[in-house]
Structures are given as structure tokens and as C-alpha cells.
Structure 1
Amino acid sequence: ILQKEAKDERKGVAERKIQSAIGFRQVIDLLSSEKKLIVGHNSILDIAHVYSKFVGPLPSTAEEFVASIRDHFPYIVDTKILVNVNPMLHQRMKKSSTSLSSAFSSLCPQVELPSRGSDSFLQQRVKIDVQVDNVRCSKWNAGGKHEAGYDAFMTGCIFAQACSHLGFDFNHPSVNIAQDEKLEKYINRLYLSWARGDIIDLRASHSNAENWRVSKFKYEKIVLIWNFPRKLNAREIKECICKAFGSTSVTSVYHLDDTAVFVLFKNSELVSEFLKIKEQLESDDGPVTVIHPLSKILEGGKTGAADYEAYKEICSSHISKVLFSDQAETVGVKSRTRPDPKGEASPETERREKTDKASDLIDAFLANRVKVEAAGIN
């Protein structure tokens, strides 16, 4: 009996430790089990991160990802879909950007700037009270964009305002807003690419991944560039590369954020060529470096570039930074050239290896000579 009690006690202690270690995972499990409506803005990456951190490794195929997301989070609304698809909300945006901050400014001006109240659109506004203590009340500033808490607040405000215009009465809320027909055309649709308008439909019983443009991407054709001059945009970066490698060398350029882009080349050979030329230009201080088309991208000497494997390495780290360039620096990933086919080292690599070996030999020789001289003195 005593042994059983001791065993049960140890088991109880272990279970309590496990429950304590689970932490925030309990919140995710509760949202999933209760089938709560998940609201986000341009949230495909947010959903993917939540899945990888609290559910399991990301599925290897798009079909599995869609099916698993639908099982765990059956009701998802992306407010970026709402403001783009709904004619009234889209008109309210006045052709401005549908970024989170722009949508918040356009749809919820009474929250961002309480003094604005003459707009007829605001006659249907949802009243939103912000509860803060006396100290923070005097310092209330609706400008903490890109802070997780404030981004969530802005997303919630946009969704509430959008629901009001869709005809939801918050004084008499429906039993299950997620299943209301007013949201039917907007629910369970996520932007896969905001630049090209590709959308994942989570409502489908099977994935139509073969029709997604991203499925046509060949990862070996992608170069990741980060920490380039902030003044450059995707179009200018593409122009620089096309001047160096030909007008058809680059298929497209996508911004990850203000500090990083994906460059999709026409073929994988151009990826290797780009990375090698970048390395050569950075190691040469001659006039060619100044007049070369890639000089604009390399200006400042801090530009990083690598293939898609580096991107996976950077993103797989437990470290998380707001800007991709900061993430890469913190993780410690540097620029790298792609190994030559068949595992053969490039001439540059061989030269460096020989130089390193020579340096090692010189260091060893000097160290040995010091020992000999010290022995002679003694």
C-alpha cells in the first residue's frame, strides 16, 4: 500500500510539472477544442507559426497543411480579405494600402483620433472603450504599430467595425458568429501572396495546391537578399539584377519585409552565378565594383545573400526578431555561395582553403620556434 501511495504521489508530481510546463499551449488547445473564431490580418504566417510552435511540425505538403489547419482551427477570418473583398469596405479604403495600419486608420479613425467624428461612415461605428490605468491614460498613444499587443488590438477593432457594416448587431449577438451567413464568403480564406492576390481556401475538402502559383516555385531558383539599402524596392532590385544577368534572368522579386526579399531567378545556374559574383565584388575594391549594376544592392557593405536553405535555417531558430535582417544577424547566418555541382569546390573555395592551411603552417612554425628559443634560453 505504501509503495502504491508513493508511486501515485510521484505520478501526481510529474503530471503537475507537465501541466505547468505546457504553459500557453493550454490557450491554443482551448481555442481549438472550443472551435473559437480566429481573427487575424494577413495571417497566413501567423497561423503557420502558431501551428509549428503549439501543434507540431509544419506538414510537408499544402494538402496536409490545409486539412490540418481546418481540423484544429475550423473558423478563421482574415480582415485583409474582408477589406479587399467587401465592396463597401474596399471603397472606404479609397484605394489606399490594405495594410493593418492603413485599414485601422480608414475604418477606425474614432479610435486612432477620437476628435474625428463628422464622417458619415462613423455614424455606424462600433464604440470601443480602451481600459487603462490613470498613469497610462494620460500617455495613451494609438501608434504602437508592429507591437504584438497593439496589432491584435487594431485587428480586433477592424473586425468589429467590419462586422457592424455587415449587419451584425452587437447588442443582440448571434449564438455563433463564426457560422453566420454574413461571414460565409469571407471565412476560412487566407492570402498566400498579398502581392499577387493568391488565396488559400480552407473550406475546400481538398487542397487546390496545384493551382497555387507558389507551387510552381523551385526553391533552388530562389535567392534570399537581406540588409540591402532601405531606399531600394522590389522593382529597383530586379532592375539591378537584370542589368547584370539579362532582362529575362529574374522572374519576380518579393518583399519579406523592408529589409529582405526573395528573388526568383529563371534557372538555378543564375542563383550560383549571382552569389559568386556578389562574393567577388565584395572582395574587390577596384573600379569594376563601383560601376557594376549590383553595386546599388551592395552599397553599405552589409548586404547578405544566400540560397533558400539559409532562409529555412534562419526561420527555424527559436529566436524571433521583428525585422528579417535582425533575425539573420542574431541567428548568425552570413552570406554564402552555393556549392558547385557534384560537391566540387569552387576555385575561390580552394584558394581560401590553401590560404588557411598556409596560415596554419606558419602559425605552427612560429609557435614551435618560440618553444625552441625558450628552451635555448633556459
Structure 2
Amino acid sequence: MRRHKRWPLRSLVCSFSSSAAETVTTSTAASATAAFPLKHVTRSNFETTLNDLRSLVKAADFVAIDLEMTGVTSAPWRDSLEFDRYDVRYLKVKDSAEKFAVVQFGVCPFRWDSRTQSFVSYPHNFFVFPRQELTFDPPAHEFLCQTTSMDFLAKYQFDFNTCIHEGISYLSRREEEEASKRLKMLHGEDGIDSSGETEELKLVRLADVLFAARMEKLLNEWRSGLLHGGNASSEFPRISNGSNQSMETVFHHMRPALSLKGFTSHQLRVLNSVLRKHFGDLVYIHSNDKSSSSRDIVVYTDSDSDKENLMKEAKDERKRLAERKIQSAIGFRQVIDLLASEKKLIVGHNCFLDIAHVYSKFVGPLPSTAEKFVASINSHFPYIVDTKILLNVNPMLHQRMKKSSTSLSSAFSSLCPQIEFSSRSSDSFLQQRVNIDVEIDNVRCSNWNAGGKHEAGYDAFMTGCIFAQACNHLGFDFKQHSQLDDFAQNEKLEKYINRLYLSWTRGDIIDLRTGHSNADNWRVSKFKYENIVLIWNFPRKLKARGIKECICKAFGSASVTSVYHVDDSAVFVLFKNSELVWDFLALKRQLESSDGPVSVLHPLSKILEGGNTGAADYEAYKEICSSHVSEVMFSDQAETVGVKSRTRPNAQCETETREENTVTVTHKASDLIDAFLANRVEVETATSN
């Protein structure tokens, strides 16, 4: 999901092609109002749609995806900042994927139709909601909602009621494993008693004693009737006046049994205790019939071997029931498993956050580092292409897009205009277009109006169209079937496959095959992170300019390259070199520990006013970003995480080196203080010492 998209409102027209599938023709007037043919999928039609989608994905040349989420950033400072290193940027993406929910998932397979010489697309729009399906789940799922994102969805008529009430739930692979373990523990591997009791229940309450005596009498009468050919009534009278409890003779797997209705769980435990104590051939079972409706019964067994067989049957039944419950709860993850198993080329637009959500929601907890994430995601989805990288890295496409942004809607308008426009244009770039049709439920159409409605399925369709047109301009000859046999391995895409933007604003690209970031990119490495100091909780009246002036008065006018606000409560200070970082941190510590006039007169006193100012190296910033906590203000975040001021930016040095450097830095700080108090030399001279 992108928060600032503009959706083309004009009619989108792709070439009309004949097909074995039913073709829908519409008049010009009708096409102006016809809605985009999108397959909406909820709980009610998920199973049938999934069966159809399997064949569509299997036959597809590539599959485009897009997600809609409830938010992007859990705090303002967690947004992508200029000073974010690639590993910190990953931590921010990780935080977003863990805290926000996916509410819509667009899946659009694309298949080349050699008969009509066009791509056929199959856009699906899945409503997804993390509903609690298993009764033994941990507490209900929680997620954040960001007001700007929710307002954006509402603006484009997102159907929140359908999402919440009819959205498809899911379990990740990790959650499925944990659910299987919990079910195994709950239902047990031995013993027939569904209650799982191994110790005799002690009857303390008078009501329990009376109930147990009454049950013993009724069960004894029923058993005697079976054994001695007496009158074993098919239905017992109600247990007591005003009670809905009843007992009826039924058969369970060809064995006589009593069906128990209206009993509480505690009463069933008491009854089970009576059976274990007084009736060796009667067994209590909590079972499910074919309609998955639960029932409580007491079954008669005529021998020890029959009892063992009954126990095995009940155990197998519980296992089948557990498997059905888990399979039902897996839900939408079956779509993700389908995409992973088919190893198709996955196409997204600026999709690193989308892929992180896919992993977090449907695979398991996100790894702690970008390198571990890349290694894991590549094993599930070995071929991913980001159309935003394709448009920016390829010179010809970049030249085409230079007049507009590479946002999804802008790229779609530039590369996939109306046929009428391209047919009248002399632009050779626009005339070299590949035709794309849409097919839903065996109905193919070419004329529609996108309207102003915002759907993940339509975004996935636009993403796939952009990719198809880009491949066409890269020189793909779709008429040659050999170029489609292994789309992901085509040499024309080699430079673009498995490269995603960690941060588009900074041009930070990560390679999913190696886990390496383009750290040598001039846009990314224009400063060194070892030269950065993080300062927080300073007086709010101070701004970046004032902080820079204070530091420059103490260390020289050329000591600070720039000061950048994280938010109103914290700043990054980029020093000229790493030695100045050490000097600043050591001087801050000495000033804070001094009670003399220097603490008031020194230029840094404005920054340290209040006694709560924190300062540390860049690694402290990474530590703060790695926390699951998200306070609104960065200073509150640092306090909550427990990060303290640090005087050494390199904690990995040998002990001897640290001690030597500490002495040197302390001497430098003392020299600076002495020089300031005695006013013997200029501040710049003191810094050079």
C-alpha cells in the first residue's frame, strides 16, 4: 500500500481479442460506466476460487501482487530518514510488518495467449482479516491502525464491513506448527477421556454428591437393561424438574450408547468420575459427528479388547478433527503456499514492505537482520522483480519516466495509456505496446472504467501491466515461446531480478541473492556512520541550527558537517571525523559530572540544560530501532528501551585499546575545559589539540 497514490479515473482500454473463453462486448456508452472486472474473494467463495487459482497460477508466466495495510509507521521517527543505514531501515520495515495488519491482498496471474497475441490477466482481490479461528489460540490478534492509512482506504471506498465480517483468516507456518503441538497436548495421545483427567475427582459439594448418586443409579439401570434384556428405554425422563438435561439411547460405531444433552462441563466431569469408579465397561466420550457438531455420549463396551478399539477410534477421530480445524484455520496462507510451490516470478511495485508482510503473516516471525531475512525469503520466493527498480535502473525506461514520478499510478499512465491515444500518437515508444485482456470466471473483456475505487487486486493488475510493457521495451519477443518458458531466467531481466528498494527515497537497494546493500552508492554513502552522534532529550527550544552553533563554539566552526532532526526531541550530529565523536561524548560526560562554573558557562551547557540530555553513537540508534516498543517521541523511546549515554562509539575494541583511548579522550576534554576557562587560546586551537 502506498499512501499517496492517484488513480486514473479515465476509461482504460486494452485491445479486444477473441478467445475460447466467452467474450463480453459492450457499447461505447456502456464501457464508460462498466466497472473493472475484478474477482472479489471472501470466506464464502474462497475454497472454489482457490481451486481455480491453482490452475491459473500453474499456467501463468508471472504473478503480480499488491497489499493493503492498516498503516506504515508506528511512530514518526520510524519513517525512512536520510541518516538511516540499510540495517536500520530493515528494522523499521520489520517493525511496520509486525505491528500493522494486511486487510487486502491482490493476486493477478498473467499468461501469454499465443492465439490472440496478448497477455491475459486474472485479477483477484482477497479480503483478509486475522480472525481467531481456533478456540485454543492465544489471546486475540492485535494490530495497529494509522489514521492516515485508514483515511486513505476510506477515501477510496474500502469495504471495512466485508473485510472484518467476511475477510479470510490465516495461520502462518510457525503458527500452524504451534497449533498442532497445542492440539496434541489438549487431546492427548493416550486415554479416551476427553477431559484428560488422570486423577479421581473429589466430590466436596453436596450438589455434586447428590448428582453423582443419581447418575450412578440411572447408568446402572440402563446398563442392567442392556445386559439382562430388560426394558432399556430409548429415552430417559428429564433429570430433575426445571432442567433441560436428558439422556437418550443411541448407537456409536455399532455400540449401544447414551447421548447426554444439557449437561454442564462440570457435571460431565462428575459423571466421568462416576464411570471410572463404578463402571469398567462404560466409557465417556466427547466426539464430533460428520457435521462437526459436538456431542457427549457414554458408550458400552463388551470386552477389554472392544474398549481398546473404541479408545483407538476416538483417538483417531480427535486427530482427524484437529487436522480439519487447523486446515480450515490456515485459510489465505494456502494462496501464499501456492505461489511459493510454483516458483513463479513474483512482480511487485516498491514491494520490500509487501514481501516483509508476506513473511511476517504467512511464514513466521521476521528474522532479526536483513541478511537472515534475505536468505530465508529467497528460499520461499526465489524470483522477485520490483517494477520501480526496473523503471529507475533501465536507461531507456528511466528516460521515459523522467517527466513524471515512478509511482504506480504515474507509471501505469505513462506505459499503459488508452489504445485511442497510442493509435493517434507518433511516439514510437507508445506504439510498441503489448495487448492485455482481463478474464474473470471464463469471461474475457477489454473495455472498462477503472473508476475511483481503490483495490489491491486492481493495483496488482496495474503492476503486472507495467511489467509486461517494460519487458516489451526491453526487447522481449513474446511470439517466441522460448522466451516465456523460463521468464525469471531470461538474461534481459538478470540485472533486475531479486533487487528491492529498502528505501526508495535514498536509493538503498538490497540484493535478495546475496543480502548485500549498495553501500557504495553515492546517494547512500555520502556520510560515514562512525562520524554520527545521536543526541536526545535536550531542551525543546533548541533547534538544529542552535545545536550546531553550540557544538561549533566548543570544537571549531568546521567540526560539524550537518545536524538533522530525528523528531523534535532528538537529532543526528554529523561530525567531520570520528575523533570528534569521541571528544564530544567524553566532554559531555565530564561537564555533567562537574559542579563547577564550567557546567554553566560552557557552550555545550545549552544542550545539557536540565540534566536529562542523552548522547550516544549510531549503534545506539540501531538498538533503539530494534525494540518492539514504539513511543511517539524518540526521547521517550530511548528512555523506555533503557539506552544510556555512551562515551565510546566502538564497543568491540580490545580492553587495552579502550583504556588508552579513554585516557587520551579525557585529556582532550580536560584541555578543552581548561582552555575555555582560562581563555588562553581560541576554541579552534583547542579542538586541534
- The answer, yes or no, to whether TM exceeds 0.5 is yes
More moved, 190-199 vs 121-130: 121-130
Equivalent of 1:201, from 488, 505, 511?
511
Cα contact 1:221–1:264 (8 A) shared by 2: yes
Please state if 1:79 is matched with 2:381.
no
Residue aligned with 1:191, SS: strand
Matched, 1:117 2:427: no
SS across alignment from 2:465: helix
Aligned mates of 1:251, 1:29 — CA distance in 2: 47
The answer to whether the 8 A contact 1:32-1:73 is kept is: yes
Q: Mean Cα displacement is larger for which, 155-164 or 23-32? A: 23-32
CA contact (8 A) 2:532 2:572 kept: no
Task: Give the counterpart letter for 1:16 in structure 2.
Answer: R
Aligned 1:297-316 pairs, distance under 5 A: 312-313=628-629
266, 289, 311: which one pairs with 2:573? 266
Aligned residue identity for 2:572: F
* 1:116/1:175 CA distance change after superposition, 3 Å: closer
Matches within 5 A, 1:221-232: 221=534
User: In the aligned structure 1, how far is the partner of 2:509 from the partner of 2:435?
Assistant: 32
Distance 1:122 1:73, change over 3 A: same
Q: Alignment partner of 1:266: what SS? A: strand
User: Which residue in 1 is equivalent to 2:488?
Assistant: 178
What residue is the counterpart of 1:162 in the other structure? 470
Q: 1:106 — aligned with what? A: 414
Q: Is the 8 A contact 2:499 2:509 kept in 1?
A: yes
Equivalent in the alignment of 1:3: 311
CA separation in 1, counterparts of 2:533 and 2:319?
A: 50
Q: CA 1:217 to 1:104, structure 2 compared with 1: closer, same or farther past 3 Å?
A: farther
Question: Using the alignment, how far apart are the partners of 1:262 and 1:37 within structure 2?
Answer: 44
- What code does the residue aligned with 2:424 have? S
Give yes or no for the alignment of 1:246 onto 2:548. yes
Corresponding residue SS for 1:187: coil
Give the Cα separation in 2 of the matches to 1:78 and 1:222: 36
State the one-letter code of the partner of 2:329. Answer: A
Matched, 1:153 2:455: no
Taking structure 1 as reference, are residues 43 and 336 closer, same or farther at Cα in structure 2, changes over 3 Å only? closer
Quote the residue 2:501 is aligned against.
Answer: 191
Residue in 2 aligned with 1:29? 337
Shift of 1:45: 1.1
Q: More strand per residue: 1 or 2? A: 2
> Residues 143, 244 of structure 1: CA spacing in aligned structure 2 closer, same or farther, 3 A cutoff?
farther
Question: Aligned partners of 1:167 and 1:178: how far apart in 2?
Answer: 15
Does the aligned pair in 2 maintain the 1:107–1:158 contact within 8 Å? yes
Matched, 1:140 2:449: yes
Judging changes above 3 Å, is the alpha-carbon distance between structure 1 residues 185 and 337 closer, same or farther for their aligned structure 2 residues?
Answer: closer
Aligned-residue CA RMSD in angstroms? 4.4
Q: Judge conservation of contact 1:93–1:103 (CA < 8 Å) in 2.
A: yes
Partner residue in 1 for 2:363: 55
What is the aligned partner in structure 2 of residue 356 from structure 1? none
Output the CA distance in 2 between the equivalents of 1:150 and 1:217.
45
1:4 CA displacement? 2.0
Residues in 2 aligned to 1:98 and 1:208: alpha-carbon distance in whole angstroms: 21
Change (3 A) 1:30 1:220: farther
Q: CA deviation at 1:50?
A: 1.1
1:79 maps to a residue whose letter is T
The verdict on how the C-alpha distance between 1:191 and 1:343 changes in structure 2, with shifts beyond 3 A counting, is closer
**1:172 Cα deviation after fit:** 4.2
User: Does the residue aligned with 2:385 lie in a helix, a strand or coil?
Assistant: strand
1:70 aligns with 2:378: yes
User: Between Structure 1 and Structure 2, which shows a larger proportion of helix residues?
Assistant: 1
Counterpart amino acid of residue 423 in structure 2: G
Q: 1:181 to 1:102 in 2, by over 3 A?
A: same
- Counterpart-to-counterpart distance in 1, 2:375 and 2:568: 29
TM-score by length of 1: 0.57
Per-residue CA distance 1:181-208 (angstroms, 9 max, x = gap): 111111011112212212111222x545
Measure the CA separation in 2 of the matches of 1:217 and 1:262.
22
Distance 2:569 2:359 in 1: 23
Structure 1 counterpart of 2:326, one-letter code = I
Q: Distance in 2 between matches of 1:169 and 1:103?
A: 22
Work out the CA distance in 2 between the residues paired with 1:217 and 1:72: 35
Equivalences for residues 289-300 of structure 1 within 5 A: none
For residue 41 of structure 1, report the CA deviation from its aligned partner.
0.9
Q: Structure 1 residues 170, 189: closer, same or farther in 2, change over 3 A?
A: same
SS of the residue aligned with 1:129?
Answer: strand
Alpha-carbon distance, 1:11 to partner: 0.8
- Corresponding residue for residue 346 of structure 2: 38
Q: Distance in 2 between matches of 1:342 and 1:58?
A: 20
Distance 1:89 1:209, change over 3 A: closer
In structure 2, what is the Cα distance between the partners aligned to 1:177 and 1:80? 18
* Corresponding residue SS for 1:42: coil
Give the letter aligned to residue 265 of structure 1: F
- Could you tell me how far 1:61 is from its partner in structure 2? 1.7
**Greater alpha carbon shift after TM alignment, 124-133 vs 187-196:** 124-133
C-alpha separation between the residues in 1 aligned to 2:446 and 2:364? Answer: 40
Of structures 1 and 2, the one with the larger relative CO (CA 8 A, separation 6+) is 2
**CA–CA distance in 1 between the matches of 2:328 and 2:516?**
37
**Displacement of 1:80 after TM fit?**
0.8
Q: Is the 8 A contact 1:220 1:308 kept in 2?
A: no
* Cα separation, 2, equivalents of 1:341 and 1:83: 42
Of all paired residues, the percent bearing the same amino acid is 61
Q: Which residue of 2 aligns with 1:295?
A: none
Cα distance in 2, alignment partners of residues 336 and 241 from structure 1: 15
Unaligned runs of 5+ in 1: 224-239, 255-259, 270-306, 315-332, 345-378
What is the total number of aligned residue pairs between the two structures? 264
The CA distance in 1 between the partners of 2:569 and 2:499, in whole Å, is 24
Change (3 A) 1:16 1:44: same
CA distance in 2, matches of 1:261, 1:73: 40
Give 1:83 deviation, angstroms: 0.7
* Structure 2: runs of 5 or more not aligned: 1-308, 537-541, 550-559, 575-580, 585-622, 644-689
CA contact (8 A) 2:544 2:571 kept: no
Q: Deviations over 1:139-166 (max 9, x none)?
A: 8235546x42222121111001111112
